[in-house]
Amino acid sequence: MNYILKVSCADEKGLILRISDVVFKHGLNYSRTSEFVDHENNRFFMRAGLDGEINVLEFTNTLAAFLPGDAQISCTPSRKKDIVVLATKENHCLGDILLRHDSGDLNANILAVIGNRDVLKSLVAKFRIPFFYVPSDDISREEHEKKVLEVMSRFEFDYAVLAKYMRILSPEFVAHYPHKIINIHHSFLPAFIGANPYKQAHERGVKIIGATAHFVTNDLDEGPIITQDVVRVNHEMSWQDMRRAGRNVEKTTLSTALDLVFDERVFVHENKTVIF
């Protein structure tokens, strides 16, 4: 069986030796390893692929005894993650996720799609995935989020993906899933806030547009960044051209971020990420 081991702790001499000793005493073999030391914060990070059969709880408890007291350890079997997707009206990010899921290229199982509009219901139906319409008009944010949480509670999932879900989530909502909600947004924030950021960018004559995928926290669009990408634009492009280019970079950036997260390559430490 294959496992992914992730360790984050205060840096000390001999950490790799100690970890390896526990790994080998449990009859495991490394298939790959990556390490990084954040010298500024004296923090050690390690990701390793392990082959063999173990009792995960026993293994992690044994490993913890040989590491600094602040060690964060996870050892999970390699598997597809279970996700729910939240969307509003734009179909480019959701459509890309659905296609990758249908072709087997997404390392995840989509359990459900939740929309605060029903515009995308027919698209989701083509992929035989449950769609839940939770209207957001004429009710408070608190009431709407309560209804969304009720739907989400029906599923055991690893991550929630905001595929252009155009709602600001409250701290109470985010607290249910710390570092488990992944968002994609255009990189214009905070310079171009509000409706039609591509039109605003066109009017300002920008030369680069892009997208940022990040974990959602209580600070709007300021959570730990997973990945970013940009594309160059010029004066010959209309704002509609920029929007098309922006949507392409949004969906590819989100796709890359999901691959990294689902493959257990992302460490979150404070408000930053370390990615192997």
Residues 6+ apart with CB under 8 A from 217: 174, 223, 224, 271
Q: For 172, what's the count of Cα atoms within 13 Å in the CB-facing half-sphere?
A: 8
| Other C-beta atoms lying within 10 Å of the C-beta of residue 49 | 17
Alpha carbon of 55 to those of 3, 6, 26: distances in Å? 11, 16, 9
Q: Is 263 a catalytic residue?
A: no
Residue among 114, 112, 108, 113 nearest 82 (CA): 108
- Give me the catalytic one of 11, 102, 221, 229: 221
Alpha carbon of 234 to those of 41, 199, 200, 208: distances in Å? 41, 13, 14, 8
Catalytic site residues? 221
